[in-house]
């Protein structure tokens, strides 16, 4: 178990690649179905902006806990993927 979750450059690169790609794909899906909502993050939505926004209004929200949980989730997925690649 220690080697499974031990950080490596490969796991970190895969983690952030999955975080960016999944967030981008989820954002494109939501924008195509709901025109005025702009989320970031998958499976947990850590940033949400909506519009149209009135001048001086705050039309976005950020949740740092969801960002941390997303990174942890994708790190575990990347550890599983790295384990699969190392066994082959």
Q: Is residue 58 part of a domain?
A: yes
Q: State how far the Cα of 47 lies from the Cα of 49, in Å rounded to an integer.
A: 7
Domain range for 50 is: 25-87
What's the pTM value of the predicted model, to 2 decimals? 0.84
Write the pLDDT tens digit of every residue in 30-87. Answer: 989 988 888 999 999 999 998 888 877 788 999 999 999 999 999 999 999 998 887 7
Q: Is residue 3 part of a domain?
A: no
Place of tokens 């989820």: 26
Write the pLDDT tens digit of every residue in 20-30. Answer: 999 999 999 99
Q: Is residue 15 part of a domain?
A: no
């Amino acid at each position: 178990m220690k080697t499974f979750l031990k950080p490596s450059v490969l796991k970190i690169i895969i983690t952030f690649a999955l975080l960016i790609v999944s967030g981008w794909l989820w954002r494109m899906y939501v924008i195509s179905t709901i025109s005025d909502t702009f989320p970031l993050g998958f499976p947990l939505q850590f940033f949400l902006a909506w519009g149209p926004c009135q001048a001086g209004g705050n039309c976005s929200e950020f949740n740092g806990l969801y960002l941390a949980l997303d990174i942890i989730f994708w790190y575990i997925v990347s550890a599983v993927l790295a384990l699969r690649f190392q066994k082959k």
